[in-house]
A and B are shown apart, each in its own frame.
Chain A
Amino acid sequence: MTVEDLQELAEQEQARQAKFSHRLMYCSAAGCVSCGSLNIRDMLKKALQEKNLADKVEVIGTGCMGLCGEGPLVKVLPEGTLYQRVDEAAAKRIVDEHLVQGPIVQDNVVDITHPFFAAQFKIVLENCGRIDAERIEEYIAVNGYEALARVVTEMQPGEVIEEVRKSGIRGRGGAGYPTGLKWGIVRKVPSDTKYVVCNADEGDPGAFMDRSVLEGDPHRILEGMAIAGYAIGAQQGYIYVRAEYPLAIERLRLAIKQAERVGLLGNRILESQFNFRIDLRIGAGAFVCGEETALIRSIEGRRGRPRPRPPYPSERGLWGMPTLLNNVETFANIAPIIRNGSSWFNAIGIPKSTGTKVFALAGKIRNTGLIEVPMGIPLRKIVFDMGGGTPEGTEFKAAQTGGPSGGCIPAEHLDVPVDYESLNAVGSIMGSGGMIVMDSTSQMVDVAKYFMDFCKDESCGKCIPCRVGTVHIHGLLEKIAAGKATTDDLGLLEELCVMVKETSLCGLGQSAPNPVLSTLRFFRHEYEELLKQPETFVPSGNGNDPTTH
């Protein structure tokens, strides 16, 4: 395939789509499928047939449209009308009323001028709700693979890296390492064999951003990885995806096959000298495999135990070769950066955190689902304007970001801008994008205990502080929650947390105490209220008196 062939394919697909008066996009992501969206698809098709519209209106499965709590969702294009909670009757009405007569179905329509939609800025999710995730032609028709074509025909690898560097994008997996810098390091290591690895082991409980991208727009990841391969000099890529995401695995397999068939992956891509293949590796349920050295071990077919760094995977990674490891969302941003230029990307967000971030909004909040917002947006805007605040009759207490490695942000910090540095300053992290809202019914000691239970179960057991320390921290939290602990126990808890944080081998252990430390920082009184009154009371370090009598 040549670049001209690619353009022709895009035009053919656009012409094909132009023949239809409407496109009915039903959500085919895991959330809506579990609410019966496949049944709705059949209903829509049946209703269209009854009205003799089957050849005028296309019914298409598309990626996550965000409002996951109100599924199944159906979008009518070209108008862009979004319907929620579409049941069989509503499906019939959408065809009978909206398509045939014109007026929209008021009972199910979603107000897309609501901040939940209006305040979003879509780069990563731009194609979700817009294209059929299972057809490469539709991706190509919306400028898909255009960036790869430009890269392999017009750009030098160094120029690609420079463009990524100038965009200011930082790793979306949580730590926020500058992506361009990472690529530059791997490029410089001399080696005939290098690898590109996509970390799709989205293990944070309460996070489903990556899954939505993989399910809704798999080609975007393949394109991003191929561009990375060209830039660093790799010919082989791996996507390490969790076994818990069967639909994402299926769509990725299909996407790889399609891209190979048309010559966008494989040998001599777009008639250039560049060869690049991508294989899938399926995880098997270990949170620690999100850590890069553990992930590499797991791809090699071994126990996913991390090893000390340095050497970093950029020097010695998969099978000892230089390896570039990025997260799904990072790769998803690459094609738009190349297509629109680094200065376009740079202008979004704030200077030190450019671009957008996808968050999975869940917990005690009215509008749950997936949102993509510019970096630097105040947390308050996400929780109250977009999320609609906590349910009737309860009060906002904390927003938890970063999963088991992150922290709880209390109400007094609601105005914190959502960017890497600001979130760190309030004791949490950007993380991969899980955002769980807690209201006044959530007990913070219990929340800390929940996360420590998770970390204790997910500890690989290699280093002592994490293997044994997390068990004792969890035990102390249980003791506190049961009202059997003393101020000495609270002191020991803090000491253990700091020790595990500073001495553990990998990121899991080093961040495992964060949920405890952050709740201790902002909700210390909740811990103290639960302490048993000792016979001789010694005030704790920060001077807070327990409020119980």
Chain B
Amino acid sequence: MAIVTLTIDGEQLSAKDDESLLQVARQHKIDIPTLCHLDGISDVGACRLCLVEVEGWTKLAPACTTRPLEGMVVHTSTDRLKKYRRMIVGLLASEGNHQCAVCTVNNHCELQNLAYDVGLLYVRVPYLYPDKHIDASHESFILDHNRCVLCTRCVRVCHEVEGAHVWDIAGRGIDCEIISDLNQPWGSSESCTSCGKCVLVCPTGALVKKGESVAEMEKHTEFLKYIVTARRKGEWISVDTDEE
């Protein structure tokens, strides 16, 4: 581990070279939007919302999996990045069937917050209205595929923290779907311990507790801070994650 100095949005900073750009930025109160990232589980660099510009690099870099380098000059909110973030959230909105007004996590939803933060006023691409189903077979929880953004937080928390690996992704491309065990009703899963971690880390109303009504459900991810203190901090940004 070494200390490097770099510039983020004009601010001269020093950082440890085994942290991620995202961690460094957040320590200095520089806000970069994220969705698939969650403190306490590994990073996959999949949502592309935390992309930043690095001077001299031809490609945009995901802040969650990029390490700081000596002399690096980073820009986190250029007009181009803002536009792309707006478009990405717009794509997410078009991909599922997100009806906030009748959602139990209304007003506590990360996708909703992202839409406000990136200034998504309207979705320019047509809605795809996919034919998705709801799995309410579990005694305590509900999985609503209509509201899933495929961030894979549930897959990672279940594998990395709970160690059960109930969840994974089936299919590919636009047909990807979260599955439990052999794509069977969640309630019939033999590997699920009903711990509820997946529900707590889910950024949207895709995984919710049963019995809550509209806008009642709040998600808590703080528990991860206590569980992962046993792990070496550097492992948080592992790219060889067992994500799927």
Contact = CB atoms under 8 A, between A and B. Distances in A.
B10 interface: no
A461 B174 contact: yes
Contacts of A503: 48, 51, 60, 84, 88
B172 A475 contact: no
Given A311-B239, A320-B240, A499-B84, A463 B48 contact: yes
B-side binding surface: helix, strand, loop or mixed? Answer: loop
Nearest to A309: B239
B173 A467 contact: yes
Given A308-B45, A499-B84, A468 B95 contact: yes
Contacts of A504: 48
Report which residue of B45, B87, B244 has the largest number of chain A beta carbons within 10 angstroms of its beta carbon: B87
A46 interface: no
A308 B239 contact: yes
Given A305-B244, A308-B239, A458 B173 contact: yes
Nearest to B126: A475
Given A468-B92, A472-B94, A505-B48, A496 B87 contact: yes
Given A464-B95, A468-B94, A510-B59, 5 more contacts: A316-B240, A461-B172, A461-B174, A471-B173, A505-B62
A462 B48 CA distance: 10
Interface in B52-99: 59-60, 62, 65-66, 83-84, 87-88, 91-92, 94-95
A465 B171 contact: no
A457 interface: yes
14 contacts: A308-B44, A308-B62, A316-B240, A456-B174, A459-B172, A460-B172, A461-B174, A462-B46, A464-B48, A467-B150, A471-B128, A499-B83, A503-B84, A510-B59
Contact of B173 (A311, A457, A505): A457
Contacts of B45: 307-308, 463, 505
B65 A308 contact: yes
A303 interface: yes
Contacts of A307: 44-45, 239-240
B60 A460 contact: no
B174 A468 contact: yes
Contacts of B121: none
B168 to A, nearest CB: 8
Interface in A469-496: 469-472, 475, 492, 495-496
A465 B125 contact: no
A109 B85 CA distance: 62
A286 interface: yes
Contact of B176 (A465, A467, A475, A495): A467
Contacts of B44: 307-308, 462
Interface in A297-316: 302-303, 305, 307-308, 311, 316
B111 to A, nearest CB: 12
A245 B126 CA distance: 40
Contacts of A279: none
A456 B84 CA distance: 20
Contact of B150 (A316, A461, A469, A475): A461
Contacts of A250: none
A504 B94 CA distance: 18
Contacts of A492: 124-125
Nearest to B62: A308
Interface string B147-161: 000100000000000
A464 B174 contact: no
A502 interface: yes
B30 interface: no
A470 B128 CA distance: 13
Contacts of A316: 239-240
A499 B83 CA distance: 9
Contacts of B173: 456-461, 467, 470-471
A467 B65 CA distance: 20
Nearest to A458: B173
A201 B129 CA distance: 35
B68 to A, nearest CB: 13
Nearest to B64: A308
Interface in B173-227: 173-176
Interface of A: 286, 302-303, 305, 307-308, 311, 316, 320, 456-465, 467-472, 475, 492, 495-496, 499, 502-505, 510
- B: interface residue count bin: 35 or more
Nearest to B96: A468
A462 B171 CA distance: 11
B136 interface: no
B142 interface: no
A468 B66 CA distance: 24
Nearest to A473: B125
B47 interface: yes
A112 to B, nearest CB: 45
A255 to B, nearest CB: 32
Contacts of A499: 83-84, 87-88
Contacts of A464: 46-48, 88, 91-92, 95
B169 interface: yes
Contacts of B125: 472, 475, 492, 496
Nearest to A455: B173
Nearest to B67: A310
B94 A461 contact: no
Interface string B94-133: 1100000000000000000000000000001110100000
B156 to A, nearest CB: 13
Contacts of B88: 464-465, 499, 503
Contacts of B94: 468, 472
B210 to A, nearest CB: 28
A502 B150 CA distance: 21
A314 to B, nearest CB: 14
A471 B96 CA distance: 13
Contacts of A461: 150, 169, 171-176
A477 B169 CA distance: 29
Contacts of B176: 461, 467
Contacts of A458: 172-173
